[in-house]
Structure 1
Amino acid sequence: MSIQLDFRTLSLTLMLFSLVFGLGMFAYSREHPKFSGIKIIGVGYFLIGGGCVLLGLRHFIHDFASIVLSNMAIVMGVVLIYRGLFNFLDISLRFERWLSLALVMLLAPVLYFYTFHIPDISMRIQAFSIVFAAACFIGVSGLLQHHEIHSRIVVKMLIAMFLLLGIFFTFRFLWAFYEAPPNNFMEAGLLSALTIIAGEFLVILSSFATIWMASDKLQDEISETARTDPLTGLYNRRAFDECCDIEFSRAQRLDTPFVIIMCDLDHFKKVNDQHGHHVGDQVLKHFAAVLKDRIRQEDVAARFGGEEFVLLLPHSNTEQGLQIAEQLREKAAATQIKVDDAISLTISASFGVAHNYATDSTWGAVLQRADNALYAAKKQGRNRVVGSGVSEPEFTSRQ
């Protein structure tokens, strides 16, 4: 029993799939313009759909359109799909542009030659199959460079898709050496019909994966927004609490030290009163940049509220905390802040430093000691670093 699949009907279904999913990609790209590459994928779908229209009109339109242009459009569509995925995932593959261009440029004269000079359906099938397979393998090689954790499952799915398609079209290329040359491409048999189904597989799975990855990115942005102070870009109080919960549990389990530093901008209210909240916001952004620039990668900086900031320093003792706080104090005091090329300000900050004890039941006790030390620093004249639990000559530093 042989399975018969109508080539024109399959071409029509692939055209409809490509049109619908292409429109979907364009609509999604319009709603989310920050996601680069989605519109390119949509154009790729349209090219595949257009190629299928021309392919389905074989014997009704000129052979140049139904053979040469149709196959080139389909291959260009595949190229744009993986190009769009590369852009979306921020993948840069060396020589990819030249390789992609070479595939299309090499296919065109081969199809033309074996259509009008030496008509040979088998050679056209082989040329299209090997070029399609090469395009799929380029997609695989690019996606293998992606290492982002959140989209790893989806990328593996895309790699598997391109790999399977590449293997299938390589087999189609090799099989053409052994099968009897067909008299009519529209009746070329089951394997040729399966190439259309493979195209449907490409369109459906790549669009599904793209929306999946876009949803993951949107979810990550929402989660990050919920943990980030919108003005300074530092963590907010909620995120800081979560980090402290983790560090306190680790410190209790492994008996390791950590330090919390509370800091407060001196006389910040005067800045707002004299220059306005716009200038005050610039001062806060500047001080946040100082914190981010001076702390270690494993440290956590957060805006605690208003002009108060807080730092968590894992695997650190009081002496290390005092040194880092002093560096921050000196950097803040030594920098002039220019706003709108008209206002130039210098700021100072006070710091309170505290480390954990084995007897602490929560990290809140460490935070309270750091806050008390900060209060002492402001009481002693501001613009200084004070450590908790040490005599003043040892733990205070002044400008």
Structure 2
Amino acid sequence: MLDILDLRTLLINCLLICLLFGIGLILYYINHPKFKGIEKIGVGFLIFGCATLLIGLRVYISDFYSVFVANIAFLVGTICIHRGIASFRGLILEKEKHIEQAMILFLIICDVIFTYIIPSINGRIVVISIFVSLELALIAGTLLSNSARQSRHLSSNFLGTVYILFSLFFLARAAFTLNADVTINFMDSGTSGVLPFLVLQAMVLCTGFGIIWMATTFLEQDLRDQATLDPLTLVYNRRALDEIVAHEYSRSTRNKKNFSVVMIDIDFFKKLNDEFGHQFGDKVLKEFALVLCDNVRDHDTVARFGGEEFVIILPETGVGQAMRIAEKLRSKVAESHQSDTTNQSVFVTASFGVTASGAKSDTWNKVLARADKALYSAKHSGRNCVAVEC
């Protein structure tokens, strides 16, 4: 069926798709410069377009351009896509860079051998297919990596899976070509010549769609973070806290287990601000929030209640255990210190008020009032201590 497709017409179609998607992604990056790497993917598509153009001009131009340069361009374009996806996901490629440099070098050597020393179209197809397959596998690994700054979503899983399939196709092409009859004229090679360019078009389309999907997912997550996280400390804000508390009340009723609340206030924070400036105060708030987050359980919630006050929700936790957690946090805070503008150590302490939810009629406002009362008791007792209100 694929034999009815004219290879030159297919190459023109492939050229147009690569140009359109390449220019489109570059323009998208110009309008959304926060998405680092998209422009490199666009450049990779443009290089693909140049490679297909050179192949389409075979017999009209020398083999140096239509074979040698075109093959290298295909591999370089794939490497550009890899670098772009890595930048987009916040990954730094170290080992991969050395592998890619070695592949380019070996491809140049093999193309010289199979173009000028031992002319073999089959040999060139096998070599470029293996190298492209390896590079596509590296791209799939980058997309499916859990160590990226940008977490994996359905979009990256989809694109990673697609790249695995593309990698397997080019590997199968290499294996098929090894056992195929000798190709005399690549432009008349039938299905074996047409199919790779159909796959190339599918790869460009899937990559363009997948990258925009990933960018949209990132924007959605960014909007959610802006709505739920405190921009300074990156813990939950007051709005998110209200939603979490409503969820905890539902879980508490369902499991018939109370949750505890710890209200925290940084001691003498206004004095710190006045003496060392607001920038130092912001630094204290960020470090303080970090200490809290590093020393609570995974299922606990830390939120900035306002100013220098923070609230921690402890699901399915009684007052006794909540007291021990609060005391541990108090100790960790007291052990930490900040450096002022003269690099002198400034020790920060905090007061903690602990309470727990009670009967069904015990509303969030009542729980909060008890936690606030306990916090006031801790301050009245000299600060840097834990108080409880049942």
Deviation per CA, 1:128-153, whole angstroms, max 9, x where unpaired? 33333333334445545448897443
How do residues 111-126 of structure 1 correspond to structure 2 at under 5 angstroms? 111-126=111-126
How do residues 1-399 of structure 1 correspond to structure 2 at under 5 angstroms? 3-90=3-90, 95-146=95-146, 151-176=152-177, 180-273=181-274, 276-333=277-334, 335-341=336-342, 345-389=346-390
TM-score in terms of structure 1 length = 0.84
Give me the whole-angstrom Cα distance separating, in 2, the residues matched to 1:336 and 1:2. Answer: 71
Structure 1, unpaired ranges of 5+: 390-399
Alignment CA distance shift 1:63-1:350 (3 Å): same
Give me the whole-angstrom Cα distance separating, in 2, the residues matched to 1:44 and 1:281. Answer: 43
Give yes or no for contact 2:353–2:372 (8 Å, CA) kept in 1: yes
Structure 2, unpaired ranges of 5+: none
For residue 392 of structure 1, what is the aligned residue in structure 2? none
Give yes or no for contact 2:323–2:354 (8 Å, CA) kept in 1: yes
Larger CA deviation: 185-194 vs 282-291: 282-291
Alignment CA distance shift 1:324-1:197 (3 Å): same
Secondary structure at the residue paired with 2:339? strand
Amino-acid identity (%): 39
Alignment CA distance shift 1:53-1:302 (3 Å): same
Q: CA shift at 1:67, angstroms?
A: 0.5
Deviation per CA, 1:178-226, whole angstroms, max 9, x where unpaired? 6554443222223312221211111111121112112211211221121
Give me the whole-angstrom Cα distance separating, in 2, the residues matched to 1:278 and 1:173. Answer: 61
Secondary structure at the residue paired with 1:232? coil
Alignment CA distance shift 1:3-1:286 (3 Å): closer
Q: CA shift at 1:388, angstroms?
A: 0.7
Give me the whole-angstrom Cα distance separating, in 1, the residues matched to 2:56 and 2:160. Answer: 29
Larger CA deviation: 77-86 vs 141-150: 141-150
Give me the whole-angstrom Cα distance separating, in 1, the residues matched to 2:253 and 2:80. Answer: 53
Amino acid at match of 1:193: V
Q: CA shift at 1:242, angstroms?
A: 1.9
Give me the whole-angstrom Cα distance separating, in 2, the residues matched to 1:358 and 1:75. Answer: 67
Give me the whole-angstrom Cα distance separating, in 2, the residues matched to 1:356 and 1:371. Answer: 14
TM-score in terms of structure 2 length = 0.86
Aligned CA-pair RMSD? 3.1
Q: CA shift at 1:291, angstroms?
A: 2.4
Give me the whole-angstrom Cα distance separating, in 1, the residues matched to 2:298 and 2:268. Answer: 30
Give yes or no for contact 1:151–1:213 (8 Å, CA) kept in 2: no
Structure showing greater Rg: 1
